[in-house]
Amino acid sequence: MISVRHLKKTYTTPNGETVQVLKDVSCDISKGEVISIIGPSGTGKSTFLRALNLLDPPTGGEILVDGENILQKNYPMNRLRQRMGMVFQSFNLFDHLTILQNVTLGPIKLLGMNKQDAENEAMHLLRKVGMAEKASVMPSSLSGGQKQRVAIARCLAMHPEIILFDEPTSALDPTMVGEVLSVIRQLAKEGMTMLIVTHEMKFARDVSTRIFFMNKGIIYEDGTPEQIFDHPLRKDTQAFIRRIRSLRLEVNGADYDIYGFFTEIDLFCAKYALYDKCDSIKHVVEEMLATLLSLEERPLFIELAFSELDYSLALTFMVTGLFVSPLNRELADPIAVSIIQGVTKSINEEKMPNGYRLTFSL
Ligand code: ADP
Ligand code: MG
């Protein structure tokens, strides 16, 4: 159905550097496959999805859909977008339209359906995702999980041949992850072809026919869920799989919820019996966010990873747009630094193409 050959994507940063985000991605996707894409942050998973449906066209390589190269100049873009649906982390519903209108807009405007048929079908799809009773309300009155289910119904209304999901549950409150994953599971049962970028490892394992482990701009390893999760062949996959008892926190600006983070850290520690580490983790998170990183140094990802093999616990901060260590620069608050040093075993600082990664062992 889709053949990707030597796909490349390069960006030029504002200061003129070129960053090759997709180095050489090749794969074949057949009808009915459910492929989960896993891998560390910043390895090009979103870029890959966006290149596939030409939201952000690749800079090299080929994408063949049913044997036709979609990168040729006059390929009908609308038709392609209709065939490849996309569901985003942030829902992207139209806030000024009702739920029903959100779902019927595409079919009426782009598929030329009449209003009545579009509404009948939209109601059918909303029922399927459990959202029919909200058909006449505005998106702002829905929870995140409900919005995402509507976004899936809206996508289905275009009769796509494949759906690309980019971290569909990452922006959700943990209590709402399940309802969205259930809808995706149902689609998988019905034979929908899907490509799903996710950090939900248990879900990926249950639902997928294949797993792609993306790492540093390539599909570093691919295989069945059993191969990738139980017997990964390559070194980086093994390291990633071992680390996946992990918690990810995302900070997108000044108004992060530190108490919400603390609750998630408490839950994580309770789950893996890491009671003695809990306070140390919170100290590092608090000092980093409140004292050592400035506003411009957000957004950032925080990942807490626990390995049961050697009981090691790593707390990683991936900070975009930071090029010196926040612990060593002049404005670093020495008290905050010494608190962090006091509760960590070691600190690893790594310069990345687009920022800085600090990993604290606890
Ligand atoms: P992932 O989804 O695996 O976390 P992404 O595909 O979002 O990774 O990003 C991969 C890398 O590409 C990151 O280092 C990111 O900063 C960079 N990148 C993504 N989009 C752009 C862009 N428009 N301009 C410059 N760099 C970008
Ligand atoms: Mg991404």
CATH number at residue 14: 3.40.50.300
Mean pLDDT calculated for residue range 199-204 = 85
How many A from CA of 215 to the centre of ligand 2?
A: 12
Q: What is the pLDDT at residue 316?
A: 93
pLDDT range class, residue 344, cuts 50, 70, 90: very high
234 and 248 share one domain: no
214 and 286 share one domain: no
The helix (H) or strand (E) run that includes residue 356 is strand 355-361
Which ligand 1 atom is nearest residue 214's CA? Answer: 3
pLDDT tens digits along 175-191: 788 899 999 999 999 99
**Closest Cα to atom 5, ligand 1: which residue?**
44
Domain's final residue, options 218, 241, 264: 241
Q: Which two tokens stand for residue 6?
A: 């030597």
- Looking at the 3D structure of the chain, how many domains does it have? 2
Query: Does residue 354 have its Cβ closer than 6 Å to ligand 1?
Result: yes
148 and 293 share one domain: no
**Closest Cα to atom 19, ligand 1: which residue?**
47
Given a contact cutoff of 8 angstroms between Cβ atoms, the answer to whether 113 and 77 are in contact is no
How many A from CA of 171 to the centre of ligand 2?
A: 12
The residue range of the domain holding 127 is: 2-241
Name the closest ligand to CA 354: 1
309 and 253 share one domain: yes
Domain's final residue, options 241, 262, 290: 241
Name the closest ligand to CA 57: 1
Name the closest ligand to CA 47: 1
How many A from CA of 77 to the centre of ligand 2?
A: 23
Query: Does residue 169 have its Cβ closer than 6 Å to ligand 1?
Result: no
Q: What is the pLDDT at residue 112?
A: 94
Query: Does residue 21 have its Cβ closer than 6 Å to ligand 1?
Result: yes
Q: What is the pLDDT at residue 243?
A: 67
Look at residue 345 and tell me whether its pLDDT is greater than 80.
Answer: yes
Start-to-end Cα distance in the chain: 47
**Residues 99, 141: Cα–Cα separation, whole Å:** 10
182 and 273 share one domain: no
Given a contact cutoff of 8 angstroms between Cβ atoms, the answer to whether 195 and 211 are in contact is no
Query: Does residue 20 have its Cβ closer than 6 Å to ligand 1?
Result: no
Lowest-confidence pick of 148-157, 257-266, 287-296, 336-345: 287-296
Q: What is the pLDDT at residue 308?
A: 60
pLDDT tens digits along 239-283: 888 766 789 898 887 788 899 999 999 999 987 778 889 999 999
Q: What is the mean pLDDT of the chain?
A: 91
Given a contact cutoff of 8 angstroms between Cβ atoms, the answer to whether 239 and 213 are in contact is no
Look at residue 20 and tell me whether its pLDDT is greater than 80.
Answer: yes
* DSSP assignment of 114-130: -HHHHHHHHHHHHHHTT
262 and 216 share one domain: no
Query: Does residue 152 have its Cβ closer than 6 Å to ligand 1?
Result: no
**Closest Cα to atom 6, ligand 1: which residue?**
44
201 and 69 share one domain: yes
248 and 228 share one domain: no
How many A from CA of 139 to the centre of ligand 2?
A: 24
Look at residue 198 and tell me whether its pLDDT is greater than 70.
Answer: yes
Given a contact cutoff of 8 angstroms between Cβ atoms, the answer to whether 128 and 153 are in contact is yes
* DSSP assignment of 63-101: EEETTEETTSTT--HHHHHHHEEEE-TT----TTS-HHH
Query: Does residue 262 have its Cβ closer than 6 Å to ligand 1?
Result: no
227 and 257 share one domain: no
Domain's final residue, options 241, 261, 285: 241
**Closest Cα to atom 7, ligand 1: which residue?**
46
14 and 117 share one domain: yes
pLDDT tens digits along 28-78: 999 999 999 999 888 999 999 999 999 999 999 999 998 889 988 888 888
Mean pLDDT calculated for residue range 283-310 = 83
Q: What is the pLDDT at residue 294?
A: 83
Please list the residues that pair with 218 across neighbouring strands: 215
Query: Does residue 46 have its Cβ closer than 6 Å to ligand 1?
Result: yes
Q: What is the pLDDT at residue 42?
A: 87
259 and 178 share one domain: no
CATH number, residue 325: 3.30.565.10
Which ligand 1 atom is nearest residue 12's CA? Answer: 25
Look at residue 18 and tell me whether its pLDDT is greater than 70.
Answer: yes
Mean pLDDT calculated for residue range 335-357 = 90
Look at residue 94 and tell me whether its pLDDT is greater than 90.
Answer: yes
Query: Does residue 44 have its Cβ closer than 6 Å to ligand 1?
Result: yes
259 and 202 share one domain: no
Q: What is the pLDDT at residue 309?
A: 52
How many A from CA of 57 to the centre of ligand 1?
A: 13
Query: What is the pTM for the complete model shown?
Result: 0.72
Given a contact cutoff of 8 angstroms between Cβ atoms, the answer to whether 20 and 9 are in contact is yes
pLDDT range class, residue 310, cuts 50, 70, 90: low
Name the closest ligand to CA 88: 2
Name the closest ligand to CA 215: 1
Residues 6 or more apart whose CB falls under 8 angstroms from that of 17 comprise 353
Which ligand 1 atom is nearest residue 320's CA? Answer: 16
